[in-house]
A and B are shown apart, each in its own frame.
Chain A
Amino acid sequence: MDDLLAARALMGVSLAFHIVYATIGIGLPLLLMLAEGLSLKTGEEEWHEIARSWIRPAGVLFAIGAVSGTILSFELGLLWPKFMVFAGPMVGLAFSMEGFAFFTEAIFLALYSYGERRLSRRAQFLCTIPLVLASAISAVFVISANGWMNTPGGFRMVNGVASDIRPLIAFANQAWPHQAVHGTFAAYVATGFAVAGFYAADLLRGRKTSQVKRALTLSLAVGTLSLPLMLMSGDWAAEALAENQKAKLAAAEAHFKTVAAAPLIIGGWPDPETGTVRYAIKIPKLLSYLANGDANSVVQGLDAFPQGSTPDPRIVHPFFDLMVGSFFIMAAAAGWFWWLRWRQKEVTLKRGALVLVIIAAPFGMIALESGWMVTEFGRQPWIIQGYLRTSEAVTPNGGLLLIFATFLFVYLALSVGILKLLLRRQGRVEGGKEVLHG
């Protein structure tokens, strides 16, 4: 493994790790706010107890998210110093604003989780509102930096140097709106389904308390309501790709040759040697329709770009399919659950429906991770699309393999610790009603 690959692997592992915690840090506050709001509105203590039972995992996961986010901010300099010298003046604003939002988030999470005896119930609920807003806004801000890497703007290249820099235009780049909206809804979907799976498992294990049923209903409702919003924003994202990031779209769709009336390719294995996709399902004209709203329009394939400047469809296409496929798994599980819920006028205890919810539970996170892979691998070999190659941005320092190994160990240790903690906790709850104080 050379230093470039080690740097890319370390950045990739760090982000893949961080995204899980960042996602829960966006989704869980919404669930907390809704549960506390329902508690105040209905006067039922149970909703408050549900919210309080989420604090322990929220605290741990948020803490890990904060430290893994710090690792990322350091890695920007440790691994990609030349990228940051170039990009800092343009993406720095997004990170600065995200910093404030994250700061606000940390403050109100601390107030909410430690304030049980120091704050009134109403004040606790009010603390969850800035928490929800700040966590969503921090995601929206930080995604602007990634959007800029995909659709750089707000500067002019003069003799190889960025000049005439306009930070606000860089901030509001073309990819930002659809990436931000899609990413935020995906976080609500991922958290909603993950939490729902947890409670569905509780029901299956025979813990049929009304608290479990309520928690399942609330979390799955958040996940389900966000699903169509995620789908619509995904469609928007695809249209924007067709306009601004044609190579990425071509790689995602495994679309090798520029043709009119392009088919949509589902599954299969792209073979760059022959420019074909083996074992794939092809739906005639659908790609042209989805990309341009016209079934006979021309869609640029990978052959429309200079050789060596396009992403590898063998990595991008499978992740794209995994992302889209995850949606259908979650939609099926949610559909069946709500259908039974409506028919039986009660949270269903049918084994099949609960098992399906459990199966669907990780797919929100899988969709998010694979969607992120699509956007990152889909930009290669560029770190800043069209301006700076990833290979040119890497640090001149050697020994990155050792650093990669060090942090791999750090992440493994953290993952083992978290799993132990959360699973032990699970063992403790089974005894009966939620335990209030340790």
Chain B
Amino acid sequence: MADPVTLASIILVAGLLMYALFGGADFGGGIWTALAFGPRAREQREALFNAIGPVWETNHVWLIFVVVTLFTAFPAGFGNLFVVLMTPLVLALVGINFRGAAFAFRHFGRESKRETPLSARVFEIASVLTPFTLGLAVSAAAAGRIVIAGCIPTENVSAWLNPFTILGGVVGMAICAYLAPVYMTVRVTGKLQEDFRKESLAAGLALGILTSLMIPLAHYQAPLFAKRLFNSWPMLFVMLAVLAGIVTETLLWLRRYFWAQLLAGATIVFTMAGFAAALHPDILIGQLTLRAAAAPYPTLVAFLAVLPIGALILVPSLFYLYWTFRGEPSSDLPP
């Protein structure tokens, strides 16, 4: 446990989890902005948009945290992954870029009553594209088709583009689409709350079906991953994820929103922990172990020593941020 490689990989997974929970909800907000329908579609969009405003940039920083952790603690993993996954990562990057820009433009454009439909559309498309490509890239590391030979890429596109990774991309989108409306249920009231409740229930069902499909597909498409998932302790996370998912749906049904929100977060944490546990001890399944990809000992120690100092500043600041903007999202935006 005190082994620096293990600690650093836990930090990496924790960073990914934070990005999925916060950044994911954020992208989900964009997805539901695109999918909003019914008599209150406009109000739904407004509420989502206003909720994202104060926190999107902070949520986005978790991604930078993951990337930095990757190249500091696992430089060989970073180098190899970015060589083999160049295409999906470039697409994700384009999505991230346009999403952030479109959000800022739309936000400040709306302030001066000059909202453009173009930036709204770009925001929605990028919110769908980014989690899909990121989900695809992450699941490609588990598919077991990538062969690396010292930063030399495989010419084979199916190494990262195959039914398993495509479904992985869809699961990435489903995670986002699931978290956003659940978080919204505790922030709004009345009919809007009912809308978000229905969206949450539907998204939860979709996520459950998709992740269930992932398992038989893994059996055929990513056999090593499936074998590790079934044969030992990672299975525990799968069961916990299923349980948390079912309880969340029940709580949403009973309109117990506060607890539903926490359990929804737990569903995602267990799902991703199961994924990470089945990938363990590799960073690129069957090709590169975490240990082989890790930075030398002194770097890992320095990195781990800096973390608590950073956390000391960050945790209270984050708490203050989310506490200040708790409750009903408002449009009291920068003047």
A interface residues, Cβ below 8 angstroms from B: 52-53, 55-56, 59-60, 62-64, 66-71, 73-74, 76-78, 81-82, 84-90, 92-93, 95-97, 99-100, 102-104, 106-111, 113-119, 130, 163, 165-168, 395-397, 403, 406-407, 410, 413-414, 417, 421, 424-425, 428, 434-438
Contact = CB atoms under 8 A, between A and B. Distances in A.
Given A64-B100, A67-B97, A73-B68, A93 B83 contact: no
Interface residues of B, number: 73
B63 A70 contact: yes
Main SS class of interface, B: helix
B313 interface: yes
Contact of A81 (B58, B63, B82, B299): B82
Contacts of B190: none
B168 to A, nearest CB: 19
Contacts of A117: 330, 332
Given A59-B104, A67-B100, A107-B321, A114 B314 contact: no
Interface string B62-87: 01110111011101101111110010
Contact of B57 (A53, A88, A109): A109
A64 B101 contact: yes
Interface in B103-128: 103-105, 107-114, 119
B79 A106 contact: no
A110 B296 CA distance: 37
Given A63-B101, A92-B295, A425-B112, A78 B90 contact: yes
A419 to B, nearest CB: 11
A166 B61 contact: no
B71 A114 contact: no
Nearest to B105: A417
Contacts of A70: 60, 63-64, 67, 93, 96-97
The 8 closest A-B pairs by CB, nearest first: A92-B72, A77-B82, A88-B75, A100-B310, A438-B111, A81-B79, A63-B104, A67-B100
A100 B81 contact: no
B213 interface: no
Given A64-B101, A396-B83, A88 B333 contact: no
B321 A56 contact: no
B320 interface: yes
B245 to A, nearest CB: 30
Given A63-B100, A110-B58, A78 B109 contact: no
Nearest to B62: A103
Contact of A435 (B61, B314, B317, B335): B335
Nearest to B80: A81
A301 B93 CA distance: 43
Contact of A116 (B71, B75, B317, B332): B332
B314 A82 contact: no
Interface string B296-319: 101100110011011001100110
A100 B65 CA distance: 8
Contacts of B64: 69-70, 73, 99, 102
